[in-house]
């Protein structure tokens, strides 16, 4: 199988034509003007993957409220995806309601998409690992996560990452650990470090006026509105 360079942060997401449960799609063109999360799973009809699909679907509306779409992927055939999605709807209920998977799932039975995106890790077998690509409206890869097959993902963290990246872009700030529940700055965001002596001085003056808060000139933070 042809080897490719795995996409890196800040690079354009590769142009791919894929077969999905919603028909053929071209990526990233399909989601132009939107954020999207592409996530791979090891296989259909497997326990952990089923819990993940349900968890993604239950948060799908939250993603869409942030102008973000979801698209899954595994090296199964499209008919397998379709039957698995039907099985989930017929057998899984949350709060008494059946779970209907609404987002498309890529059928990569040739393995070409997985190879292009670096989703097969030989040390972890021949199935796709649990990868996550977060891509912005310009088609730029903004975050990549890899999980082993034995560990299911935390969907709330993926939501947080999209929200944090959007906040960073719109406000020109950085996002602290565990935001919006950081241990030292709470829900505040980080102001990028000063790049000159004059700017460092201005930061401290702003803190004295109560416009921002600083531990020092290089560690300043502020509250922002969504």
**DSSP string over 171-209:** HT-B--TTTTSBTTTBT-EEEPPPSSHHHHHHHHHHHHT
Q: Give the model's pLDDT for residue 123.
A: 87
Residue 220 known to be catalytic? no
Q: Which residue has the tokens 């379709």?
A: 82
Q: Give the model's pLDDT for residue 3.
A: 56
Residue pair 186/89 in contact (Cβ under 8 Å)? The answer is: no
Q: Where does residue 96 fall: left (phi above 0), alpha (psi -120 to 50 degrees), or beta otherwise? A: left
Select which of 18, 49, 162, 173 is catalytic.
Answer: 49
Which residues of the chain register pLDDT less than 70? 1-4, 226
Q: How many CB atoms lie within 10 A of CB 79?
A: 12
End-to-end distance of the chain based on CA atoms, in angstroms?
Answer: 46
CATH number of this structure's domain 16-153, picked from the four choices 3.40.30.10, 3.10.440.10, 3.30.365.10, 3.40.50.2300:
3.40.30.10
DSSP H or E run through 131: strand 130-135
Strands 189-191 and 219-222: antiparallel
Instruction: For the chain, state the CA radius of gyration.
Output: 20
144: its two tokens: 């990549």
**Domain ranges in the chain?**
16-153, 172-226
172-226 classified as CATH 3.30.1020.10: yes
Q: Give the model's pLDDT for residue 151.
A: 94
Residue 134 CA from chain centroid, whole number: 4
């Amino acid at each position: 199988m042809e080897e490719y360079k795995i996409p890196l942060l800040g690079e354009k997401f590769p142009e791919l034509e894929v077969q999905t449960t919603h028909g053929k799609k071209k990526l990233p063109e399909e989601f132009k003007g939107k954020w999207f999360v592409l996530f791979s799973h090891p296989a259909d009809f497997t326990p952990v993957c089923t819990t993940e699909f349900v968890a993604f679907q239950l948060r799908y509306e939250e993603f869409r409220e942030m102008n973000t779409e979801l698209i899954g992927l595994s090296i199964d055939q499209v008919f397998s995806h379709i039957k698995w999605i039907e099985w989930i709807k017929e057998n899984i209920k949350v709060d008494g309601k059946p779970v209907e998977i609404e987002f498309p799932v890529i059928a990569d039975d040739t393995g070409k998409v997985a190879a292009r995106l670096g989703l097969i890790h030989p040390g972890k077998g021949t199935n796709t690992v649990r990868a996550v690509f977060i891509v912005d409206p310009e088609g730029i890869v903004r975050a990549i996560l890899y999980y082993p097959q034995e560990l299911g993902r935390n969907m709330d963290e993926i939501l947080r990452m999209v929200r944090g990246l959007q906040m960073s872009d719109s406000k020109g700030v950085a996002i602290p650990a565990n935001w919006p529940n950081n241990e030292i700055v709470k829900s505040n965001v980080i102001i990028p470090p000063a790049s000159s002596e004059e700017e460092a001085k201005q930061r401290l003056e702003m803190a004295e006026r109560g416009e921002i808060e600083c531990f020092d000139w290089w560690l300043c933070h502020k509250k922002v509105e969504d």
